[in-house]
Chains A and B, each alone.
Chain A
Amino acid sequence: MSREDVLVTAAWAEENLSADGVVFVEVDEDTSAYDTGHIPGAVKIDWRQDLQDPVRRDFVDRAGFEKLLSARGIGNDDTVILYGGNNNWFAAYAYWYFKLYGHSSVKLLDGGRKKWELDGRPLSTDAVTRGATTYTAQEQDLSLRAFRDDAVAAINTKNLVDVRSPDEFSGKLAAPAHLPQEQAQVKGHIPSALNVPWSKAANEDGTFKSNDELRALYQEAGLDEGKATIAYCRIGERSSHTWFALRELLGYSDVKNYDGSWTEYGSLVGVPVEIGAQD
């Protein structure tokens, strides 16, 4: 798989805004960003309302995903270009989700909203409507998804990559620093995890670093290329960004995202937890 198969540049995107069979989808946690201006023609997916189960802590199920994509006018044969705010965290999460449910052609817009805005490219407030489709999803591809037992079993046997900031990893902070710090879970990290903050995989403008830079980054951090890898963060969206870098850009074969991440692991009774900075 080459970089072009999974990532498009802002310039490519602007040239293909009205291309047949290409659907732009903005994915945000805060959808007010979309409402104040989005890429012309893009539809929106709300990370929480559209992708999470409204009651249980889990995703929408296969039928829910089919209903969502059908309503957004996305067909099975469409090439979906995902982008969003927060350096594409939620777009990367949605990318992982599209892959879980077996969508064949999905790509990320490199740099997301940030790069698009810094470039001064056009944004539109026009309402976007697409005709409904009848979307068919596959069963979840569980080779991409880690659960809590997988995370515990991976201690000292697989690569565990904690992509949170060093202060969250060490236990100094309980959440990213734009959020209040009072949290239910304990602080710390899964023993034997490497701390490679997601931000190290991205340039300041939100684009991904080159494959050479990425490979060097994970090798220097101690990632064993011969072993399977599980990435996690706090709620699974920053780790989707790193999952994308490891599996989709670098092509490592057995890479899973642990979407339960620290909010789940840090609340489990009886599991080992480590505090302190990376050696």
Chain B
Amino acid sequence: MSDSCGAPEQGTALPANVDAGKEVVLNGKVTSGGAPVGGAFVRLLDASGEFTAEVVSSPAGDFRFFAAPGTWTVRALHRDGNGEARVSAEGPGLHEVAVAVA
């Protein structure tokens, strides 16, 4: 287990201690005009719009959340613009989501 609530380094490769067969993983990328956007503040909102978690996208624009089954909104803030996307996760596994900011 992690002894912190801080956001770990973001990237596409799952940490070795994470079992994708058990975790509902939301993996995604922030882009602007097709180019990856690093340093965006990416927050996960639950089905009622409530804040759940926030990470900073990696230099390649990648981010990842460990969620639960359900419908989620991913919202990205960056000084170049904001954007959001919705994703439905039926169950454990990797779920891809792309967010464009403008």
Binding site for B on A (CB under 8 A): 28-30, 32-33, 47-48, 85-87, 89-90, 114, 117-120, 165-167, 172-173, 175-184, 197, 199-200, 204-205, 233-235, 237-238, 263
Chain B interface SS verdict (over half): loop
Binding site for A on B (CB under 8 A): 1-9, 15, 17-19, 22-23, 39, 41, 43-44, 46, 48, 50-56, 64-68, 77-79
Q: A30-B9, A237-B5 are in contact. Are A178 and B55 (CB under 8 A)?
A: yes
> Of all chain B residues, which has the CB nearest A87?
B54
CA distance in complex: A157, B76 (Å)? 41
CA distance in complex: A238, B41 (Å)? 17
Contacts of A118 in B (CB 8 A): 41, 77-79
A sample of 11 more A-B contacts (CB under 8 A), given A48-B3, A172-B68, is A28-B6, A89-B5, A117-B39, A165-B50, A167-B68, A177-B52, A177-B66, A180-B2, A180-B18, A182-B23, A184-B1
Contacts of B53 in A (CB 8 A): 165, 176-179
Partner of A166, one of B5, B43, B50, B67: B50
- Contact between chains at A204 and B52 (CB < 8 Å): no
Partner of B17, one of A47, A89, A114, A180: A180
Contacts of A180 in B (CB 8 A): 1-2, 15, 17-18, 23, 66
